[in-house]
């Protein structure tokens, strides 16, 4: 599905001779979680070095003088989706500060819902903010803390935050990771020989050949120091509410998140969809690549042949511009090619993982039809999205959500499909692990935290990270 | 399959208000035929303007001042694979010259086998070459021709060339396209309203919404002028020998080439492979993306479940470097992720379209095995490659071809597969259209032209385009 | 003289339709005061926009989209000498912050001697510093102030600073300028129609066609608002001690500083030098361009012919590198060309404005001698520099000052001159205006402020601005 | 004087371990002869490597990987003034070709007056031109020559050229230099140990510490090979006509050209001017820097005090833009600062070396007057320019020459001077060496060669080099 963006991916490693290179590979594996900027902070035991840039990971670190500067045996990294231009670099992470003669770097995935309150309070006390990111708040809290140890300082600072966060912190001698008490976003621990690794998804462990150990628990803070890993729990407790959308769309299918394989869940969603919304058709095709697994699940359960009817063009670049694009459906033709030989004369089930605005899907239906499909039955492997996310996903505006104001029949009509069916909320929760411990607020409006009244779009936009 | 590179894609359009923009889109659709440099020449009826650069199409034309300069109602474009650095830009096409007060631009896909002879002859007569590309030869021949009309001039020049070529030429008022008498490489004609379009593959017609009309015949020269399209045949005749590899690997599955759908042939290759080399297994997976269609064909014919067991990472960039990559199999881990949930405990058929060196395939087999596959049976939807190509594909060196010196059992042992089978030459030719009119020299050593004795690797390398 | 660097030039304008363009020209005229980075902040009455970069002024603002963004009727600008690389941009000014819903930009010329104390105090209170520049301190003081009005806030903040400073501040509606109570560095007021202008030197007024009005007094704060200019005095008083080196070397000869013409003073220094250290010679030549005026004064008073014996090469760029420069005296040959026809067989007086290390002068003497000069008599239009500057000039290290450890005869021997004479301190103070109100500490070690004991080189280096 | 541009400077060295670095320094010293592009070709005895770029010399070669590639013991270099944009790089020299298995690079200073004829003839024979520069012609002639040895080949090719040229050629094993039979432009020989050096002016010898040996004679070809230098004369003879403007303005004052010191001649021009056009005034000032020496000569002969009344700003960059420059005289204020203290109330002689359009001089007179000068008497150390140059100087258009259509009194009125006088042609020729062997056609219209009738401005423009 196009239109939804995860805000960040984070990575950390401690005890590896080539810590920054491992972090580089980890960020590369997490590239799908943020493509606008990235950065690595590394520690040699005394000092922290830092490089950040805008663009894809491979381009940011491709100049020959960059990686050698990031020396040392521990490092953290961050991929970020952010707004354009100068602010892109300004808000890139990890953030690094010197304070009271100490150094710390931090990388954040999530969204602090009481960010505006905290920022106002800090500014009233004379703090100067350099970025528009809510991630900077934690560093001001750390700089102002009266606690002695960095563990206590971070613990004290984290308890002031509300909302969704996974953090990795790097000091000259320690790597610290923490996950908010609700456990909104994923964060896991891996090991590679004597080295300890932290990553948003396990695919970042795989690429460096590290073993998956376990998920970091909601509310857990993990401290890695002197080769040892210890664990503390944040005092604050809350009902777990992990993001169900990580299974549906964001995480890579080859990852383990929340201690479960994404591919397996995604296939189950497709199968459940086939149970709930069967279809009399000749072939099943997916909107590539994100709906591939669900489509396979749908095809297997419904015993309809799976085919590759749309091919995704992977050469499209960030600044690809189609001048004067008055051509009908040009933007979708640039990204997808229909395979006429597969589609011609066929009754097609088109499986998509989710629908935000429906704009692209409408063009895709047209494209498939123009290739000769006789009927097009859209099946969506998640329920209708009716409400924004305040916990780190870019579904910021109810007005953009077609399902918040249109009936399913209206959406079907809009996307010009012959039929349309969504997976039910109940069906979805029945196949995701620990269904009642998942946050499904974007489908149900049942938010697990208070949402500040003043959390308007503009503020929301500029304060996510 | 990684390891084989097509050398070029070409495009031309005549009679469109936005000729350069259409060419830009056409090149974008042909990006798979060459990713190192690209260029567009456009004519406003009096003068030809030109822009070339290195990199992907979208990046070369992304600066705002470039496209407006390429104004006019006709244009040609070129994608090129080429060697590195300065020579990349030097050899970028279209090539443009002014000669005797006239202007002409040319774009070439193919390989001139008598290039060295012609070049030596021209240099002996005082011609100065600016590039190391064999494509420059045609322009010297044109500049030296005593013919009056550009049609006669080009005709006279083409008859001196031996080997593989598709050309598009642009003069201030005409668009001319030609295909060598053997018809090695594909070139087709399309139409969009009053505009005429020429493209290496039909996918470049689709993206601009043009209709496919027909293939340009071997030995045919097409002249577009004043809105009219006329056709002439080169005097020289030869048995058609179109490249069978275009079906196997190079062309996009959604393209029509040599008047036939690629996807359809590629699926037939997979089915034929299933007939010839069946396998007792649980699942069929492809080496994505190029073997997807053949794998589907294999799965359907053999009635084994198709699964997505390897995911391709599309964020990898041209200058992606993995510093100190002593990690075992790192380069394949960077490009492919195995889906453990799919592979674990399974007997897997791994379908690949072709094998050049076997290096990547060996790593892929390891990767699939490390994800828990119980057995791995490799099936290749083309015969063993035993001999170089002299007609425009980068299979330059017999020593690099594992099948030229190893038995199938040795290759199986090398790639660590449980079994290995190739498609037979006979089987292949039975499913490609007009099988006996295809060039299959890389599988058979049966070359349709004389190959100059002195065609050594070095010269070969630097003279292809 | 090479080897001494002024740290900054500042400029401000209020009430001009093209405020940023005027600032651009002003910075260009002040380029000699800092060549490493520059920036402009402009206000449109509601918001402040900012652009900073490294390099010369013309290159920083040459991209077409920059100047249009800096719109509004008031602006400030800054030229900076700074250290290399990333820190160059990091420390570029103006510095801009948002605090408590307000905006302010500041540009600073000088050096805060109690910077380390203040910074430590602020960090203890939880402030995070983004730069290594002492100029950031004032913004933290402003952000923490409890005063209501910006005038009171700045006043309160300035009173905490010790040392040398000239500031221009820009708020959305006001332009405020201030000079420290000692008046170390120059700052003047100009007018152009309804607009008010602030500049380090009057040459920045000339270039925009503004009239010189007056110098800003030591300890004066000037507030420009609603077209009116008002003035307040800092409570703290101190004996005026303006930098005599501004006359000797730093300021441009066509400028007025401290209410006096630089050219006139510089010529008087040359005449006084001729009185104190006459010479029996054929010609007087200058080390161009900085000693030209003093050399003319020397020539006129001593009635020896002035000649151009050394020509300065103005094409030398910032990154001019002479690889493997083992060639003797190559670096001086790159910058200066001796005119053999002028020098051959002559007894030459070579006038220099000052000597820091003597390295370049030694090479110049050799160069002049290699061009055939019979005798070379060096005359220096300032006294020996024996002590570092803590007020904004890059004479940071006593060890680098040849006169701090060598006698004049030893220096003469080192630079291989036939004779050497300096201007006396008494002679110098007799010709500069208000001689006893000048800071001549680098010649006398008589510092007008306390210097913190811990003011070591390293700290000093990284905290100047 | 601003407004006149020399077209090129050339340099060559043979037998130096660091040939390319010496060439780099030589080009840097010759930067005044061309600031738009530069290049170096170096030979290691077998192959020639080449780097060219646009901009100043130091910037073109500043990337660390460039100089190491230019290895070998011989090299040639070229500075060029050229038109803007893409053509800048296209026309950059040295030009390098491979032909008949051989390699040659060439760098040219001058202007071939029969370039159009030769080019047409070559194009008729099928030659393709890559540049719009007349310098490419020689390489086509060389490539088409039937002579065996490179010396004969070059000799044969040169005899076909009419007009002004100095060439340095580099083959893998030889360095060859040649000067046209008229000897329009300067070219000299130097030596540094075992190495031989060729340069447009001797200042390029000085910077590398080489000794001046002699000028290359008109019509002489010098061949350096195996450490030996030999000389041949072109068969064609012509009366010597060296460019007198090299003395007046172009060459650096510290150079020797045509075997004579520039500084000495320039001073004599000033003295002669004082004899011919005395003035009752208080001070003599120069338009810096080009008229400095003539002004000193004027001041000494007339016994009026020389002063520095205008200071040139050397920070101005190539792309310095003054947006919306409606400010009166802004462009001259950006380049020159008047020194008020020197000028106020004075009767001033302002010495300029030459006048082309008079635009800048008019603004300078205003600037000097605005600084308080009571009277301004302009004295020009060359005669009125009335006619274009066809031999390598950018005086291309009679309409631009104010003296071609205005009387001296009209010019005086235009530039708003109190009086104006030029040096006489007779006076000029009396002080330049071998006066009657100088080309003074721009002052006399007495051209030493035939000028093709069709030598219109447009063609002229695009064919100079």
Give A352-407 pLDDT, tens digit per residue: 999 998 988 999 999 999 999 999 999 999 999 999 888 888 776 788 899 999 99
User: In chain A, what residues touch C123 (CB-CB under 8 Å)?
Assistant: 99-101, 143
- Supply the mean pLDDT for chain B: 89
Is C320 in Cβ contact with D58 (below 8 Å)? yes
Cα torsion D18, C364, C312, C379 to 10°: value is: 170
State the smallest CA–CA distance between residue D94 and chain B in angstroms: 14
- How confident is residue A317, by pLDDT bands cut at 50, 70 and 90? low
From the list D25, D306, D339, the residue facing C322 with the nearest CB is: D25
A164: part of which helix (H) or strand (E)? Answer: strand A163-170
- How confident is residue D142, by pLDDT bands cut at 50, 70 and 90? very high
User: In chain A, what residues touch C144 (CB-CB under 8 Å)?
Assistant: 125-126
What does the pLDDT look like over C346-392, one tens digit per residue?
A: 999 999 999 998 988 999 999 999 999 999 999 999 999 999 988 88
Q: What percent of chain C has pLDDT over 70?
A: 91
Residue A233 and residue A119 share a domain: yes
Is D317 in Cβ contact with C252 (below 8 Å)? no
Mean pLDDT score, B118-140: 87
Q: CA-based diameter of chain C, in Å?
A: 72
pLDDT at C283: 97
What does the pLDDT look like over C123-171, one tens digit per residue?
A: 999 898 877 778 889 999 999 999 989 999 999 999 999 999 999 999 9
> What count of other Cβ atoms lies within 10 Å of the Cβ of residue A448?
17
Q: What count of residues does chain A have? A: 465
Q: What percent of chain A has pLDDT over 90?
A: 68
What does the pLDDT look like over D416-449, one tens digit per residue?
A: 999 999 999 999 999 999 888 899 999 999 999 8
D279: part of which helix (H) or strand (E)? Answer: none
Mean pLDDT score, B448-454: 76
Mean pLDDT score, B373-395: 92
ipTM of the complex in this document: 0.84
Flag whether pLDDT at B259 surpasses 50.
Answer: yes
Is B261 in Cβ contact with A207 (below 8 Å)? no
Cis omega (within 30 of 0) for bond into B285: no
Q: Is the dihedral of CA A381, A387, A393, A395 positive or negative?
A: positive
Flag whether pLDDT at C321 surpasses 60.
Answer: no
Report which DSSP code applies to A403.
G
User: In chain B, what residues touch A32 (CB-CB under 8 Å)?
Assistant: 315
Q: First CA to last CA across chain A, in angstroms?
A: 21
What does the pLDDT look like over A69-111, one tens digit per residue?
A: 999 999 999 998 754 334 556 678 999 988 888 999 999 999 8
Q: Which of A343-347, C196-200, D237-241, D297-301 has the lowest mean pLDDT?
A: D237-241
Residue A391 and residue A282 share a domain: yes
D374: part of which helix (H) or strand (E)? Answer: none
From the list D319, D327, D339, the residue facing C62 with the nearest CB is: D319
Residue B363 and residue B295 share a domain: yes
Is A59 in Cβ contact with B340 (below 8 Å)? no
- What is d(CA A180, CA A216) in angstroms, rounded to the nearest whole number? 10
Q: Which of B51, B119, B127 has the most D C-beta neighbours within 10 Å, making it the best mutation to test the interface with D?
A: B127
Strands (E) across A253-306 are located at: 256-257, 260-261, 283-286, 305-306
pLDDT at D89: 66
Q: Which residue of B has its CA nearest to D100?
A: B123
Q: Which of B9-18, B427-436, C107-116, D315-324 has the lowest mean pLDDT?
A: D315-324
pLDDT at C130: 74
Instruction: Give phi and psi for A117, each to the nearest 5.
Output: -55, -50
Instruction: Give phi and psi for B251, each to the nearest 5.
Output: -70, 155
Is D21 in Cβ contact with C322 (below 8 Å)? yes
User: In chain A, what residues touch B293 (CB-CB under 8 Å)?
Assistant: 308
- What is d(CA D47, CA D44) in angstroms, rounded to the nearest whole number? 6
pLDDT at B2: 44
pLDDT at D2: 43
The reply to whether D248 falls in a domain is no
B130 vs D128 pLDDT, higher one: D128
Chains that touch C (3 or more CB pairs under 8 A): A, D
Residue B76 and residue B35 share a domain: yes
- Supply the mean pLDDT for chain A: 89
The reply to whether D438 falls in a domain is no
Non-local CB neighbours of D426 within 8 Å, separated by 6+ positions:
none
Q: CATH number for the domain including C385? A: 3.40.50.2020
Mean pLDDT score, A291-314: 93
Mean pLDDT score, D288-301: 94
The reply to whether B376 falls in a domain is yes
Is D139 in Cβ contact with B126 (below 8 Å)? no
Whether C8 is catalytic: yes
Q: Which of B61, B267, B320 has the most A C-beta neighbours within 10 Å, making it the best mutation to test the interface with A?
A: B320
Non-local CB neighbours of A384 within 8 Å, separated by 6+ positions:
A355, A403, A408, A411, A422, A443
Non-local CB neighbours of B316 within 8 Å, separated by 6+ positions:
A28, A58, B334, B335
Flag whether pLDDT at C178 surpasses 90.
Answer: yes
What does the pLDDT look like over B2-59, one tens digit per residue?
A: 445 557 999 999 999 999 999 999 999 999 898 888 999 999 999 999 999 888 888 8
The reply to whether D91 falls in a domain is yes
Q: CATH number for the domain including A170? A: 3.60.20.10
Which of these, A24, A5, A22, A3, lies nearest to A13 by C-alpha position? A22
pLDDT at C150: 95
Residues of B designated catalytic: 8
Instruction: Identify which of B226-235, D334-343, D394-403 has the greatest average pLDDT.
Output: B226-235
Query: Mind giving me the DSSP string for C124-136?
Result: HTT--B--S-TTH
The reply to whether B451 falls in a domain is no
Flag whether pLDDT at B205 surpasses 80.
Answer: yes
Query: Mind giving me the DSSP string for C235-304?
Result: S------EETHIIIIIS-TT-EETTEEHHHHHHHHHHHHHHHS----SEEEE-TTTTHHHHHHHHHHHT-
pLDDT at D323: 52
State the smallest CA–CA distance between residue B99 and chain D in angstroms: 6
pLDDT at A86: 42
Strands (E) across A298-383 are located at: 305-306, 310-312, 336-338, 347-352, 375-380
- How confident is residue C464, by pLDDT bands cut at 50, 70 and 90? very low
For chains D and A, having 3+ Cβ pairs within 8 Å is answered no
pLDDT at A229: 96
User: In chain D, what residues touch B101 (CB-CB under 8 Å)?
Assistant: 123
pLDDT at B462: 36
- How confident is residue C89, by pLDDT bands cut at 50, 70 and 90? low
- How confident is residue C328, by pLDDT bands cut at 50, 70 and 90? low
Residue A151 and residue A47 share a domain: yes
Residue D326 and residue D196 share a domain: no
From the list D100, D126, D143, the residue facing B143 with the nearest CB is: D126
The reply to whether C454 falls in a domain is no
Is B123 in Cβ contact with D144 (below 8 Å)? no
Report which DSSP code applies to D248.
I
Non-local CB neighbours of C250 within 8 Å, separated by 6+ positions:
C4, C6, C32, C33, C243, C393
Is D263 in Cβ contact with C320 (below 8 Å)? no
Residue B322 and residue B218 share a domain: no
The reply to whether B352 falls in a domain is yes
Is A123 in Cβ contact with C127 (below 8 Å)? no
Which of these, C182, C177, C178, lies nearest to C163 by C-alpha position? C182
Whether residue D366 contacts residue D359, with contact meaning beta carbons closer than 8 Å, is answered with: no
Please, what's the b/e burial string for C348-368 (b: 16 or more CB within 10 A of its CB; e: otherwise)?
bbbbbbbbbbbbbbbbbbbbb
From the list C123, C125, C143, the residue facing A128 with the nearest CB is: C143
Give me the helices (H) in D397-440, please. 408-415, 425-431
Residue B407 and residue B359 share a domain: yes
Q: C75: burial class by Cβ within 10 Å (0-12, 13-18, 19+)?
A: buried
What does the pLDDT look like over D255-289, one tens digit per residue?
A: 999 999 999 999 999 999 999 999 999 999 999 98
- What is d(CA D185, CA D201) in angstroms, rounded to the nearest whole number? 10
> What count of other Cβ atoms lies within 10 Å of the Cβ of residue A379?
28
pLDDT at D454: 52
Residue D28 and residue D154 share a domain: yes
The reply to whether A346 falls in a domain is yes
Q: What count of residues does chain C have? A: 465
pLDDT at C322: 53
From the list C126, C130, C139, the residue facing A140 with the nearest CB is: C126
From the list D124, D140, D145, the residue facing B128 with the nearest CB is: D140
B1 vs C432 pLDDT, higher one: C432
Q: First CA to last CA across chain D, in angstroms?
A: 21
Q: Which residue of A has its CA nearest to C121?
A: A100
Residue B304 and residue B200 share a domain: no
Q: What percent of chain A has pLDDT over 70?
A: 90
- How confident is residue C88, by pLDDT bands cut at 50, 70 and 90? low
Instruction: Give phi and psi for B227, each to the nearest 5.
Output: 80, -5
**Domain tally for chain B?**
2
- What is d(CA A330, CA B419) in angstroms, rounded to the nearest whole number? 45
pTM of full prediction above 0.90:
no
Q: Look at phi and psi of residue A249 and say left if phi exceeds 0, alpha if psi is from -120 to 50, else beta.
A: alpha
D189 vs C458 pLDDT, higher one: D189
Strands (E) across B113-255 are located at: 163-170, 174-179, 188-192, 195-199, 211-215, 220-225, 228-233, 242-243
Q: Which of D13, D263, D332, D336 has the most C C-beta neighbours within 10 Å, making it the best mutation to test the interface with C?
A: D263
Instruction: Identify which of B73-87, B406-420, D133-147 has the greatest average pLDDT.
Output: B406-420
User: In chain A, what residues touch C97 (CB-CB under 8 Å)?
Assistant: 128-130
Mean pLDDT score, D224-242: 91
A299: part of which helix (H) or strand (E)? Answer: helix A292-302
Chains that touch B (3 or more CB pairs under 8 A): A, D
- Supply the mean pLDDT for chain C: 89
- Supply the mean pLDDT for chain D: 89
pLDDT at A465: 36
Residue A272 and residue A421 share a domain: yes
Strands (E) across B226-319 are located at: 228-233, 242-243, 256-257, 260-261, 283-286, 305-306, 310-312
Q: For residue B325, what are the domain limits?
A: 265-432
Is C306 in Cβ contact with D59 (below 8 Å)? no
**Three-state SS across B340-398?**
HHHHCCCEEEEEECCCCCCHHHHHHHHHHHHCCCCEEEEEECCCCCCCCCCCCECCCCH
Residue B210 and residue B146 share a domain: yes
pLDDT at B334: 84
């Amino acid at each position: 599905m196009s239109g939804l963006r995860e805000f960040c991916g984070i990575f950390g490693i401690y005890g590896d001779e080539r810590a920054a290179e491992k972090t580089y590979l980890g960020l590369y594996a997490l590239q799908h979680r943020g493509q606008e900027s990235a950065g690595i902070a590394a520690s040699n035991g005394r000092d922290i070095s830092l490089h950040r840039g805008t663009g894809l990971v491979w381009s940011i670190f491709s100049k020959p003088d960059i990686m050698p500067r990031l020396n040392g045996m521990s490092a953290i990294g961050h991929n970020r989706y952010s707004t354009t231009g100068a602010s892109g670099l300004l808000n890139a992470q990890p953030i690094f500060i010197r304070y009271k003669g100490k150094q710390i770097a931090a990388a954040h995935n999530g969204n602090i819902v009481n960010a505006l309150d905290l920022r106002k309070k800090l500014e009233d006390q004379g703090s100067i903010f350099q970025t528009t990111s809510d991630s900077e708040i934690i560093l001001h809290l750390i700089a102002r803390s009266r606690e002695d140890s960095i563990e206590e300082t971070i613990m004290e600072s984290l308890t002031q935050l509300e909302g969704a966060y996974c953090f990795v912190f790097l000091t000259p001698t320690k790597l610290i990771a923490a996950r908010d008490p609700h456990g909104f976003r994923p964060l896991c621990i891996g090991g590679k020989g004597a080295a300890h690794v932290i990553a948003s998804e396990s695919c970042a462990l795989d690429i460096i050949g590290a073993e998956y150990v376990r998920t970091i628990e909601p509310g857990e803070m993990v401290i890695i120091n002197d080769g040892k890993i210890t664990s503390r729990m944040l005092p604050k407790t809350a009902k777990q509410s992990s993001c169900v959308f990580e299974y549906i769309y964001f995480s890579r299918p080859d990852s383990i998140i929340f201690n479960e394989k994404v591919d397996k869940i995604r296939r189950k969603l497709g199968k459940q969809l086939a149970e709930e919304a069967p279809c009399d058709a000749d072939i099943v095709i997916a909107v590539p690549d994100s709906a591939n697994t669900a489509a396979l699940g749908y095809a297997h359960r419904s015993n309809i042949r799976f085919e590759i009817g749309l091919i995704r063009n992977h050469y499209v670049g960030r600044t690809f511009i189609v001048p004067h694009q008055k051509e009908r459906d040009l933007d979708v033709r640039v990204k997808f090619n229909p395979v006429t030989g597969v589609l011609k004369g066929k009754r097609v089930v088109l499986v998509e993982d989710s629908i935000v605005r429906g704009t692209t899907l409408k063009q895709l239906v047209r494209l498939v039809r123009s290739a000769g499909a006789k009927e097009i039955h859209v099946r969506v492997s998640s329920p209708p999205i009716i409400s924004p996310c305040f916990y780190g996903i870019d579904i910021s505006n109810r007005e953009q959500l077609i399902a918040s104001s249109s009936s399913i029949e209206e959406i079907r009509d809009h996307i010009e499909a012959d039929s349309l069916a969504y997976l039910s909320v109940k069906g979805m929760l029945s196949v995701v692990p620990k269904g009642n411990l998942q946050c499904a607020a974007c489908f149900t409006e049942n938010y697990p935290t208070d949402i500040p009244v003043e959390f308007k779009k503009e503020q929301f936009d500029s304060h996510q990270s």
